[in-house]
Amino acid sequence: MKTRKLGTLEVSELGLGCMSISANYGPPADKDQGIKTIRTAYEKGVTFFDTAEVYGPFTNEELVGEALAPFRDEVIIASKFGFDLEGSEGLNSRPEHIKKVVEDSLKRLKTDRIDLYYQHRVDPKVPIEEVAGAMKDLIKEGKILHYGLSEASEKTIRRAHAVQPITAIQSEYSFMERDQEQNGVLKTCQELGIGFVPWGPVGMGYLTGEIVARTNFDLKTDLRAEFSRFTPENLAANMPVVDLLRRFAEKKNATPAQISLAWLLAQKPWIVPIPGTRNIDHLNENLGAKNIQLTPVELRELETGFSKIKVHGGRMSEMHMQAVDQTV
């Protein structure tokens, strides 16, 4: 496994998104299975593990802490704050709240520092300069080592970075979800030397080719049940994207998921996707993407093919999109 730099932070070129082991894409996995998946990723060279207090809530951080405890000093743990989980469940990034919840996350993660701490969603009630100031304090105290933002706009990134340098931005980005190319965020990352961590790098599972129009999503345990991109009509309408990836996969002796991850890796050297899974076979498949090299000609052909396809449905529900920072 090669490494990449997010700002000054060195991580494996593919990370592991741990959320889906515990929450949001169906009922939680058995704890032993979750630990085995995380430790197998480590054995295969993954050093970058992503979690958040809200996943579960709390249970995913506990799982990641237990799974990584034996080799804590050899891995990079990223977590996130920003929700009022013991109150309104809305956003809360007040500095005093951040300084309380970081202590709770440290305990759950069984560690004395969080390598990369993201604001999960920008809180419109708290100036970003105050959040960045709290991050600066926590870095001075050694409780966190690097500061990140998730689903932040170009303007917010610039304001925060002026107070405390940002190491990474995490937002949804995949072969089928291109907002970050249009909204100035990737360009800003390049300009300021900030790394970019795509979540949903295989389209929340859609780009594997295993999700079809008749796939059912449980309303109680699977967020995708509320996303318009995952209605039966849109699952069918978006199949040309998967078909395009599948054509390239056949040529490269790969799978559509591997092509979509290889495509992301080919975009910029400071992009580090974090595909998530609870399944060892899928983990091995995802990590196999690092062995696939897409040539400049193949990348152009993929872009040409994609430019002729319309993507149907929004990337998240209206409620979830309201929490995405779109400050201009």
Residues with catalytic function:
55
236 Cβ contact partners less than 8 Å away, ≥ 6 residues apart = 212, 213
How many angstroms separate the CA atoms of 210 and 295, rounded? Answer: 26
- What size, in residues, is the chain? 328
Residue the block writes with tokens 């996969």: 249
Q: List C-alpha distances in Å: 103 to 73, 133, 137, 181.
A: 19, 17, 14, 35
* Residue 123 three-state SS: coil
Phi, psi of 36 (to 5 degrees): -65, -40
CB 131 within 8 A of CB 156: no
Residues 6+ apart with CB under 8 A from 172: 151, 179, 180, 198, 199, 200, 315, 316
CA distance 328 to 320: 19
